[in-house]
Structure 1
Amino acid sequence: MGTPHFGVSYWIDRLPRRRPSYPRYRGQNDVDVAIVGGGMAGCATAYALSTVGARVCLFEAARIGQGAIGSSTALVMQEPDVDFQDVLDAHGLRAARTIWRMTRRGALDLVAAIRRLRIPCQPEAQDSIYFASDPTGVQRLRRELGLRKKARLEARWLTVEQLRREANVEAEGAICVAGNAQVEPLRTCFGFAAAAVKRGASIHERSPVERIRAGREHVELRT
């Protein structure tokens, strides 16, 4: 059995010692939307909803950005983490194409919001490469590429030489998809949290939600 190793996330290590902080939740409040969890999804949702005038309250059990986002790959992907052919086989062309277009729209909107808010998270354009190292994998990749082209989704094939030259990877072939991005995830999370607060949202750290009870016309949360 291998020896476990522990360390500090690269993204956490890059942060300045002083980081944003938010008060514990105390008292009672009535809001339109309560969000449990202060990661990337929670903070971005708080920003989006507060922008359209919703009264938003976000509860985080520990600190904003302290969960999985601090150890993420930092990639903003324009497609779901599944092959297009698998979604097409399961749900049909129309549904598969809609899913791909929606996720692409979401990725573009996220990067646009980051730039609009001037969040200092160093967004950079990145390509994604899906490669195969055996004939079976190459056959599957070629089917994937063909189906994507039929659905009018952008992708291109990389030969062995192109893959070696462009990505320094030794494999039998690959699909390259452009239009993804890389950002510093914690700075992005903090940026959306700050933007949400500026638009009227309230954020509370060290405020774990202990109970959620749903009624007919409301939901009650207790910390």
Structure 2
Amino acid sequence: MTHNDHTGKKLPQVPEPYWRDFIDLPEFPRLEKDIQVDVVIVGGGMTGITSAYLLVNEGLKVAILEAGKLLNGTTGHTTAKVTAQHDVIYDEFIQNFGRSKARLYYEANTDALSFIKKTVDEHQINCDFSEQDAYIYATTDQYASKLKKEADAYEKLGINGGLVNSIPFDIDIQNALVMKNQAQFHPIKYLTHLIKIITEKGGLIFENTTGVNIETGEQPTVLTREGPRAAGNYVLSCSHFPFYEGLGFYSTRLYADRSYIVAAKTKKPFPGGMYISADQPTRSLRSTTINGEEMVLIAGEGHKTGQGKDTMEHYKALETFGEQVFGLDNIMYRWSAQDLVTLDKIPYVGEITSGQPNILIATGYRKWGMTNSTAAALLFRDMILGKKNAYQSLYTPSRFYADPSLKNFLVENADVVGHLIKGKLEMPDKSAEELSIGEGAVINVKGHRKGAYKDEEGKLHIVDTTCTHVGCEVEWNSGDRSWDCPCHGSRFSYTGEVIEGPAEKPLQQYDYNILDNLTSEDSGY
């Protein structure tokens, strides 16, 4: 099955990110026996690998536990902008937290950029690192006014940048705000080199090893789904959504947001720089080299996971935008990304729960994970070594600002309750027999709400649509062929396996022939 948009370009059938292609990634075994180390790191993405790299350099014994394959989560699906320009945010931070905390956020991310650059230089890592100016542009009067306020915030905070009247390609803008001397790179090439250093210095890495809980105490121990245990003086939760929440109730303090990316060869050359629109829906642009050819990454179309229109429409909208601005010769890749947003838009990094100083968490990067994850890893190192870090209070998960945290807490949890109730009341009228090849949908089987997908061979895959986290009803994501939860962002494959948490258990699977024998009196959802 091939998807086409109205520009006539063919969308790649399977959503796969570019970053992992052409890279010889190392493979690591499953954890088969109990281990004892200084630091157990759960999650093998940018945060976990950078943390392990920093800690082995300090002589500590470290183990990374990755539920699937290294670098296949959020890190492998990024646009890989290494920048402190995180949308229009600094004026808002000044208003909500004051000038000093807004400046700290900028400094933390600028320090992270500098650390990445220094590491690339020190180890001569061939990861396509290049310095680029970053731009936010406005196409409407409303957002042009916001950019003027943001430019004032840049001036107050001493950020190197300011307003400009044009950008070097064919978009009619009102104004744009530049942040000078930012960067972009190939994250997998960068992290693959760090992995090599970690293992050379005695670090342990285990794939297909899922952490499910922590046995707390003086020496916390990670319990894995597979059975073996990993004990350490510290446990770092670097698993995107916290695999262990303690008493932090992170399900009520985070929401999941998806965005979409296409990589295309363009008719017009890319002028350099990195760009993102202030207006919604978001449009983000940067270039990269794929197999020797320059490509443009066109990203945006963000929305809450499991909510909104047919997800294929988001890819098509990006294609149309790319065609209008650059002209498209060929679309090489398409993929989507998911990240978590905190109540106040600053990540949670630090003690997962007050009183448990040896269990640390990093989450809620709001799609700006390259610098925020590095800042988190640097903070983890200092906390473990007992060193002062200027950013510890900024990122601490225990913070709670009445404005905006309380308002956003109420809004987000009302949204969860609304979707929980709505999903239970809705009953689809579609049947499995109506599905086409490659189509998925929520179906009605004798009054029971089930999820169905018909694969390329015509086989039906039937699952229960009740998310195994808190019981919301999942929705079909046609663009990525997955079942997505609108409440807390859990995602499942069309066969029901967990792709992303917080859910830990798969959706219940059914044999359609047996399911068809249900009666309307049998228990439903």
| TM-score normalised by L of structure 1 | 0.88
Residue 142 (structure 1) shift: 0.9
What is aligned with 1:186?
188
Deviations 1:75-114 (A, max 9, x none): 1122445510000000111111121112111111122112
For 1:12, what is the secondary structure of its paired residue? coil
1:182-221 matches, cutoff 5 A: 182-215=184-217, 217-221=218-222
For 2:36, what is the secondary structure of its paired residue? coil
What is aligned with 1:9?
17
Residue 178 (structure 1) shift: 1.6
Change in Cα spacing, 1:176 to 1:82, as seen in structure 2 (3 Å) is closer
What is aligned with 1:34?
40
What is aligned with 2:25?
19
What is aligned with 1:69?
75
Paired residue for 2:172, among 170, 173, 188?
Answer: 170
What is aligned with 2:422?
none
1:96 counterpart = 2:98? no
What is aligned with 2:433?
none
Change in Cα spacing, 1:82 to 1:194, as seen in structure 2 (3 Å) is farther
- RMSD across aligned positions (CA): 1.8
Residue 194 (structure 1) shift: 1.4
For 1:207, what is the secondary structure of its paired residue? coil
Return the letter of the residue paired with 1:91.
F
Higher helix share: 1
Q: Would the aligned equivalents of 2:134 and 2:179 in 1 still touch at CA under 8 Å?
A: yes
Change in Cα spacing, 1:205 to 1:82, as seen in structure 2 (3 Å) is farther
1:118 counterpart = 2:124? yes
Separation in structure 1 between the aligned mates of residue 62 and residue 108 of structure 2, nearest angstrom:
25
Return the letter of the residue paired with 1:7.
P
Paired residue for 2:59, among 41, 53, 59?
Answer: 53
Change in Cα spacing, 1:81 to 1:132, as seen in structure 2 (3 Å) is closer
Residue 200 (structure 1) shift: 2.1
Q: Would the aligned equivalents of 1:78 and 1:179 in 2 still touch at CA under 8 Å?
A: no
Deviations 1:138-175 (A, max 9, x none): 1111111112112211112111xx32xx3443211000
Residue 129 (structure 1) shift: 0.8
1:139-158 matches, cutoff 5 A: 139-158=145-164
TM superposition outliers: structure 1 runs of 4+ over 6 Å: none
Change in Cα spacing, 1:7 to 1:99, as seen in structure 2 (3 Å) is closer
What are structure 1's unaligned runs of at least 5 residues?
Answer: none
Deviations 1:29-76 (A, max 9, x none): 211111001111111110011111221110011111111222210111
Separation in structure 2 between the aligned mates of residue 190 and residue 21 of structure 1, nearest angstrom:
11
For 1:11, what is the secondary structure of its paired residue? coil
Q: Would the aligned equivalents of 1:117 and 1:195 in 2 still touch at CA under 8 Å?
A: no
Q: Would the aligned equivalents of 2:159 and 2:179 in 1 still touch at CA under 8 Å?
A: no
Separation in structure 2 between the aligned mates of residue 167 and residue 111 of structure 1, nearest angstrom:
28
What are structure 2's unaligned runs of at least 5 residues?
Answer: 4-10, 225-525
What is aligned with 2:223?
222
Identity %: 24
What is aligned with 2:424?
none
| TM-score normalised by L of structure 2 | 0.39
Separation in structure 1 between the aligned mates of residue 91 and residue 172 of structure 2, nearest angstrom:
24
Separation in structure 2 between the aligned mates of residue 76 and residue 153 of structure 1, nearest angstrom:
16
Separation in structure 2 between the aligned mates of residue 169 and residue 48 of structure 1, nearest angstrom:
42
Residue 26 (structure 1) shift: 2.1
Q: Bigger relative contact order, structure 1 or 2, given CA contacts below 8 A and separation 6+?
A: 1
Separation in structure 2 between the aligned mates of residue 60 and residue 40 of structure 1, nearest angstrom:
12
Change in Cα spacing, 1:194 to 1:81, as seen in structure 2 (3 Å) is farther
For 1:70, what is the secondary structure of its paired residue? helix
For 1:10, what is the secondary structure of its paired residue? coil
Residue 19 (structure 1) shift: 2.3
